[in-house]
Amino acid sequence: MNIEELAIEGDLALKGDRAEIQLEREIGHSPARVWEMLTNSVHLARWLAPGVIELRPGGKVQLDFGNSGTPIDCHIRACEPPRLLAYSWSAGDDPERPLTWSLQPVGPAGEATRLKLTLSLPNDELVPIACAGWDAHLEMLMAALEGISIHFPADRFRQARAVFSELAKEKLAA
């Protein structure tokens, strides 16, 4: 199985001692609509986790994954509605795992969006898991934008993890 079969757009690269991951999607909704899904508490719960994001530099990001993960409690690094949102995907004394959402209008009237998610992670054995997890959540986002609620796509996660494990061996080996 290769990355194209999973319809994953993006790449892995080594940046110093960190892994940088870029996942991309072209979405048939405006940047304003996608921004709403990324930042509105009601919509966040449909594709990511219940929580709140205070949309200002320094604002809080709090997401609660319940029993399935670590609660996220961090602050906004950059906020430029509806095109850029950056915060760290971490809590407490966890290593910093910055992420950046970038939204670019696509099409003659900007009716679609090129969404790019950039992650910076410690270069360790958890990189493929993080990549696969975000890939799965992007699938949930795509469904939520269409008004469809789906559970975490575990099969896709497992397939993406295998793909990202191979990419990590190839591109992140020190």
pLDDT score for 27: 95
* Separation of alpha carbons 148 and 136, rounded Å: 15
Average pLDDT over residues 160-172: 89
pLDDT score for 7: 63
Higher per-residue confidence, 2 vs 38: 38
Average pLDDT over residues 26-39: 97
Average pLDDT over residues 30-42: 97
Identify the band that residue 3 occupies on the pLDDT scale cut at 50, 70 and 90.
very low
Report which listed range, 28-37, 59-68, 126-135, is most confident: 28-37
* Separation of alpha carbons 126 and 82, rounded Å: 30
pLDDT score for 10: 59
pTM of the full structure: 0.91
pLDDT score for 89: 87
DSSP for residue 67: G
Average pLDDT over residues 36-40: 97
pLDDT score for 1: 39
Architecture of the domain spanning 9-171:
2-Layer Sandwich (3.30)
pLDDT score for 65: 83
Q: Is the pLDDT of residue 115 over 70?
A: yes
Residue 73 sits at φ, ψ, to 5 deg, of -145, 100
Could you give the strand order of the β-sheet that contains 18-27, starting from the edge strand earlier in sequence?
9-15, 18-27, 112-122, 98-106, 84-88, 72-80, 60-63, 51-53
pLDDT score for 6: 53
